[in-house]
Amino acid sequence: MTNGRRATFWAWLWGLVGLLYFFVPLYGTLDFSLRAKRGEISLLAYQNVFGDPQFLASFAYSARMALLTILISILLVVPTAYWLHLKLPKLRPVVELITLLPFIIPVIVYVFGLIRTFSRPPFLLTQTEWTTDLLLASAYVVISLPYMYRAVDTGLNTLDVHTLTEAAQSLGASWPAIILRVIVPNLRVAILSGALLTFATVIGELILADFLVRPALGPYMVLMGQSRAYEPAALGLLSFALTWISMGLIQFFSRGGAALHPSGR
Amino acid sequence: MPFLEINSVNKVFQDITVVKNFNLHVEQGEFISFLGPSGCGKTTTLRIVAGFEQPSSGTVRLAGADITTQPPNRRNVGMVFQSYALFPNMTVADNVAFGLTLRKKPKDQIQRRVRELLELIHLPDRSQNYPAQLSGGQQQRVALARALAFEPQVLLLDEPLSALDAKIRDELRVEIRRIQQRVGITTIYVTHDQQEAMALSDRVVVMSQGLVEQVGTPFEVYNYPQTSFVAAFVGTLNTLSCAVVDAAQGTLACQGQVFETGAPIAHPAGHALALMLRPEELRYGPGGGQNRLAGEVLDVSFLGATVRVRLKLGGSTLTADLFNERMLVLPRIGETHTFSFPPHACWIMPQQPAN
């Protein structure tokens, strides 16, 4: 066997092992989720999940929170990252480090900090539902910051931010016009990537919602896991499918962006 | 009253003064080039006019109004960048329409103006293309149309041809001048390419180390340089170290040969000076004037319309440009040939200290 063929063989072998490692548990979960009826394959567990009004309510709640999180993230991250690129490039490594903090600080520590700070005066936010939702959405913004910031930062790196800004200024554009009409449209794919990653993060998040006692999908899934057998498997797969759909959409729109700018500029 | 006035402008970045006491008055419709090497302050001065930089001192006035502190989006000044800076998310038509859309012009007026400008830049059928689908030259034409669309009072071009290859550069140079003359817009053009500056401009501002060395027509700047920097930077120049022989007669000795300058010299005999001579002033053979020099041919480059000959004259090297003609017998390397030039072709300057 020549060196090239041997390398190809090992590459395929390890690829196969990786795929099995990844897909065998998924297959196991899928198989289990289809055996809710004794002795036959059925979609009963899925029917139960979709038939449960609490599932739909918790999914709708999490989806609403995800959209709110995405909106706040975009409003916060896009102008900040743009300004850093344009005026304060030296601060970029510092901000990058700050955006990585959610990866370093455990969410459980973070949520205790939130509760301690915001459930006593002067920032009493956990007394009403809507202020708690606001607190939860803000916390989601923080934990999804690494994804949104990195996506937008990478998008800005592909643009000549300085010259585009100056070109727009010379044509008479104000700052809001530059951001809304020049920068944001050119960051469309990057913002969408960040938004979908944020969506996937928020939909599957457990600890923040659980400790702030909000009816999100994560706590619902845990609850189901404690009282049912097959439905949690179905929920697990659904949640996984949602993340994969998000990833697929990112890929799809990224390719669309590449087709729009064939030169890669 | 001049249309654009740049008065006593200085610009200091940290401790470095990059523009020193810049003064320029530009008439309406004039085409001015800022010419100089990298770091001479030409782009900074342009950016001060555009409003992207604030001068440390001095004023900029446009059509009588002081615009020194006005932000760039309120200046009504169009700008074309080296990197085109077209908005990648917009079509050619949308790019050109951008300034008009911001000014909330009626839709039919915008469409008419965009059509008109795309005709002007010879790209009427590319209106729905995206910038990435155009060549560099086409992109720069669109950038020019975009900068002209909202009818700015001044057009600024920052090395717009530098990123293009030679052939496109030459074509676009002609186009820029044609369009500027057709529109009649006051234009400032920044370049380090002297040919570009010469070919395009009504007047050239030659800059070095933040200072204006000379302002004049291309003819004046080339033929009557006021400083040794201008003489050396604009065109090719032969510089010979000489000593005054007879101040009243205006004669100098260089490398053992005596040359007439045609005018008295204000320095005593023996005073060291530099004699300047353009390569095209040297004629092959003795018939070009009373100043003659015999030099050893070091190199002959055939350039098509001209033949460039490098000569060794004592310790100096001279360049002579000969017009090509079919009957020309090319000098050969190693041969010694006589070249000549008339007294009025040369001029003298103080000798530069050796670097």
Task: Enter the DSSP assignment of A133.
Answer: H
Q: Please report the pLDDT score of residue A121 as a whole number.
A: 81
**Residue whose structure tokens are 């009253």:** B1
Is the per-residue pLDDT at A258 higher than 50?
no
Is the per-residue pLDDT at B121 higher than 60?
yes
In a domain, A162, yes or no: yes
In a domain, A97, yes or no: yes
In a domain, A222, yes or no: yes
Model confidence pLDDT, tens digit, residues B172-212 = 888 899 989 988 999 999 999 988 999 999 999 999 999 99
Distance CA(B157)–CA(B148), nearest Å, equals: 11
Contact between A186 and B130 using a beta-carbon 8 Å cutoff = no
For A75, list phi and psi in degrees, rounded to 5: -65, -30
Least CB–CB distance from A262: residue in B74, B132, B156: B132
Model confidence pLDDT, tens digit, residues A36-48 = 888 888 898 898 8
With beta carbons less than 8 A apart as the criterion, state whether B346 and B252 touch. no
Q: Please report the pLDDT score of residue A262 as a whole number.
A: 41
pLDDT band, very low/low/confident/very high, at B352 (cuts 50, 70, 90): low
Contact between B79 and A166 using a beta-carbon 8 Å cutoff = yes
Interface confidence: ipTM more than 0.90: no
Contact between A260 and B72 using a beta-carbon 8 Å cutoff = no
Q: Please report the pLDDT score of residue A242 as a whole number.
A: 82
Q: How many beta-carbon pairs below 8 A join chains A and B?
A: 79
Distance CA(A113)–CA(A115), nearest Å, equals: 6
Contact between A167 and B103 using a beta-carbon 8 Å cutoff = no
> What chain A residue is nearest to B152 in terms of C-alpha separation?
A171
Structural tokens at position B200: 């395009």
Is the per-residue pLDDT at A255 higher than 80?
no
In a domain, A43, yes or no: no
Per CB distance under 8 Å, which residues of A are interface residues toward B?
159-160, 163-164, 166-174, 177, 181-182, 185-186, 188, 260-263, 265
Mean pLDDT of B141-160: 94
In a domain, A171, yes or no: yes
Q: Please report the pLDDT score of residue B52 as a whole number.
A: 95
Is the per-residue pLDDT at B156 higher than 80?
yes
Contact between B147 and A171 using a beta-carbon 8 Å cutoff = yes
Is the per-residue pLDDT at B61 higher than 90?
yes
Give the angle A5-A10-A12 at the CA atoms, nearest 5°: 95
Interface of B with A in 116-155 (CB under 8 A): 130-133, 143, 146-147, 150
Task: Enter the DSSP assignment of B185.
Answer: -
Contacting residues of B for A156, CB less than 8 Å apart: none
pLDDT band, very low/low/confident/very high, at B340 (cuts 50, 70, 90): very high
3 state DSSP class of B337: strand
Q: Please report the pLDDT score of residue B99 as a whole number.
A: 95
Contact between A188 and B89 using a beta-carbon 8 Å cutoff = yes
Closest CA to B222 of B214, B239, B234, B206: B234
Distance CA(B266)–CA(B247), nearest Å, equals: 7
- Could you tell me what percent of chain B has a pLDDT over 90? 68
Q: What is the mean pLDDT of chain A?
A: 88
> What chain B residue is nearest to A187 in terms of C-alpha separation?
B89
- Could you tell me what percent of chain A has a pLDDT over 70? 95
> What chain A residue is nearest to B148 in terms of C-alpha separation?
A171
3 state DSSP class of B296: strand
For A143, list phi and psi in degrees, rounded to 5: -75, -20
Distance CA(B279)–CA(B330), nearest Å, equals: 16
Distance CA(B98)–CA(B142), nearest Å, equals: 12
Distance CA(B149)–CA(B127), nearest Å, equals: 14
Contact between A182 and B52 using a beta-carbon 8 Å cutoff = no
Least CB–CB distance from B146: residue in A169, A171, A186: A171
B77–A contact, CB cutoff 8 A:
yes
| Domain CATH for A124 | 1.10.3720.10
Name the domain count of chain A: 1
Least CB–CB distance from A167: residue in B51, B81, B103: B81
B99–A contact, CB cutoff 8 A:
yes
Chain B nearest C-alpha distance from A200 (Å)? 27
pLDDT band, very low/low/confident/very high, at A263 (cuts 50, 70, 90): very low
Q: Please report the pLDDT score of residue A1 as a whole number.
A: 56
Chain A nearest C-alpha distance from B143 (Å)? 9
Contacting residues of B for A174, CB less than 8 Å apart: 73
Write the DSSP string, B210-269.
Answer: TEEEEEE-HHHHHHS-SSHHHHHHSS--EEEEEEEEETTTTEEEETTEEEE-SS--SS-T
3 state DSSP class of B69: coil
Looking only at the bridges linking them, the beta strands covering B291-302 and B306-313 are antiparallel
Q: Which of A160, A171, A261 should we substitute to test contact with B (largest number of B Cβ atoms within 10 Å)?
A: A171
Q: Please report the pLDDT score of residue A244 as a whole number.
A: 83
Terminal C-alpha separation, chain A = 43
Terminal C-alpha separation, chain B = 43
pLDDT band, very low/low/confident/very high, at B134 (cuts 50, 70, 90): very high
Mean pLDDT of B124-138: 93
Is the per-residue pLDDT at A168 higher than 50?
yes
B71–A contact, CB cutoff 8 A:
yes
Distance CA(B300)–CA(B292), nearest Å, equals: 20
Chain B nearest C-alpha distance from A242 (Å)? 29
Task: Enter the DSSP assignment of B289.
Answer: -
HSE value, Cβ hemisphere, 13 Å, CA-based, for B75: 32
Residue A18 host element (H or E): helix A3-33
Model confidence pLDDT, tens digit, residues B273-297 = 989 899 999 999 888 888 999 899 9
Closest CA to B222 of B35, B2, B6: B35
Model confidence pLDDT, tens digit, residues A5-25 = 888 899 999 999 999 998 999
With beta carbons less than 8 A apart as the criterion, state whether B338 and B296 touch. no
HSE value, Cβ hemisphere, 13 Å, CA-based, for A180: 6
> What chain A residue is nearest to B50 in terms of C-alpha separation?
A170
Least CB–CB distance from B85: residue in A160, A177, A261: A160
In a domain, A229, yes or no: yes
In a domain, A161, yes or no: yes
Distance CA(B4)–CA(B156), nearest Å, equals: 12
CA torsion B206-B212-B213-B214 (nearest 10°) is 60
Residue at A252: amino acid letter: F
Contact between A164 and B77 using a beta-carbon 8 Å cutoff = no
Closest CA to B260 of B198, B186, B345: B345
Mean pLDDT of A182-207: 90
Cβ neighbours, 10 Å, residue B292: 17
What pairs with residue B273 in β-bridges?
A: B242, B350
For A95, list phi and psi in degrees, rounded to 5: -65, -40
Closest CA to B146 of B102, B104, B98, B180: B98
Distance CA(A67)–CA(A61), nearest Å, equals: 10
Model confidence pLDDT, tens digit, residues A102-128 = 999 999 998 998 888 888 888 887 788
Domain that holds residue A127: 52-260
Q: Please report the pLDDT score of residue B353 as a whole number.
A: 58
Q: What is the mean pLDDT of chain B?
A: 91
In a domain, A134, yes or no: yes
Model confidence pLDDT, tens digit, residues B3-44 = 999 999 999 998 899 999 999 999 999 999 999 999 999 999
Q: Please report the pLDDT score of residue A264 as a whole number.
A: 36
Name which residue leads in pLDDT, A229 or B338: B338
Closest CA to B116 of B104, B107, B124: B124
Contacting residues of B for A188, CB less than 8 Å apart: 89
Contacting residues of A for B99, CB less than 8 Å apart: 171-172
Whether the CA torsion B281, B284, B289, B290 is positive or negative: it is positive
Contact between B85 and A182 using a beta-carbon 8 Å cutoff = no
- Could you tell me what percent of chain A has a pLDDT over 90? 49
Name which residue leads in pLDDT, B96 or A235: B96
> What chain A residue is nearest to B146 in terms of C-alpha separation?
A171
